[in-house]
Structure 1
Amino acid sequence: MSRAAPGRRAEYRAFRALPTRWKDNDAYGHMNNAEYLSIFDTALSLWQLDNGIALLGPQALRFLVVESGVRYHSEAGFPDVMHCGLRLPHMGRSSLRIELGLFRNDLDTACAEAFFVQVLTDEHSQPIPLPDPLRTIFAEIST
């Protein structure tokens, strides 16, 4: 089975840097797979907050992750600084597919890439349309 080549930094639209921690490494001396997901999720949440998308409190938007996946290309671990790139290849009526790439330190190729499909929902977990101001924010990372 052939694998897609790792993505390059230039293929992503926005970046968020996050340091790795000593506890992120596993017994093999590299970052545990679950930590990659945590970094992806944190980087996306911080990007959303930086762009005025409320995730907590009474104004919070309720995004549910309905699908996700990760492809690993090379090892990373403490004390690497991870630069998480974000891009948006698809925006539907109520859903988004956000792709993320993790880049170790100053490397140009991703050590891991992930995607999240999120659906905006109401308090009853029913899909609702993405409002225009939110579409404008996400359009900034559209590919």
Structure 2
Amino acid sequence: MADNAEIPTISDYGRLATVTTRWNDNDVYGHVNNAVFYEYFDSVANSYLIEVGGLDIHGGDVIGLVVESGCRYHAPVEYPATLRVGLRVDRLGNRSVTYGLGVFTTESDDAVVHGYFSHVFVDRDTRRPTAIPDGIRTALERLVVE
């Protein structure tokens, strides 16, 4: 556990999405398993890319591949719970983006979990890095942390 100075608050994120925990998210210890938070991160970021950036996950020429991720856990969460997941862009390059994400309960604006992951945008067929498409770049620029 990190000290409170290192725990992000909900105001640190430019976009919020709601996630409802599922029965199978809990592990044998009675809390949401650590790996499940990565699923929340991936779903929230990709939903944003699809809805706001126009990413075509089924037929587009460009896709995003995860190349790095990390996460810190501050407090347990257990099923059932409604969570708020904050999304921001910590770094935006020509071919890659690093997202910052935080997970919050409805009772607190302090993150129970926070982390990051990086997408490299690649050509769907060759898997070679390519420039971030304009629509996606515009959407990502809205969430850049200054």
For normalisation by structure 1, the TM-score amounts to 0.91
Distance 2:45 2:20 in 1: 15
Q: For 1:2 and 1:16, locate their aligned partners in 2 and report how far apart those are by CA, in whole Å.
A: 26
Name the CA shift for 1:133/1:42 in 2 (closer, same or farther; >3 Å).
closer
Q: Aligned residue for 1:72? A: 73
Residues 85-130 of structure 1: CA deviation (Å, up to 9, x unaligned): 0010211110101110000123100000111111111121111112
- Asked if the contact 2:83/2:106 (under 8 Å) is kept, the reply is yes
Runs of 4+ in 1 over 6 A off after TM superposition: none
- Deviation, 1:2, is 7.1
Aligned residue pairs total 143
Q: Kindly, what percent of the aligned residue pairs are identical?
A: 31
* 1:141 aligned residue: 143
Greater Cα offset, 18-27 or 51-60: 51-60
Q: Deviation string for 1:17-73 (max 9, x for gaps)?
A: 010011111111111111111111111122222214324222263111111111111
Counting only pairs closer than 5 Å after superposition, residues 1-143 of structure 1 correspond to structure 2 as 5-59=6-60, 61-122=62-123, 123-143=125-145
Structure 1: gaps spanning 5 or more residues: none
Shift of 1:79: 1.1
| Runs of 5+ consecutive residues of structure 2 not aligned to the other structure | none
Please say which of residues 51-60 and 41-50 is displaced more in the overlay: 51-60
User: By how many angstroms is 1:136 displaced?
Assistant: 1.1
Deviates more, 1:101-110 or 1:55-64: 55-64
User: AA paired with 2:93?
Assistant: G
SS in 1 for 2:44: helix
Q: Which one-letter code corresponds to 2:29 in the other structure?
A: Y
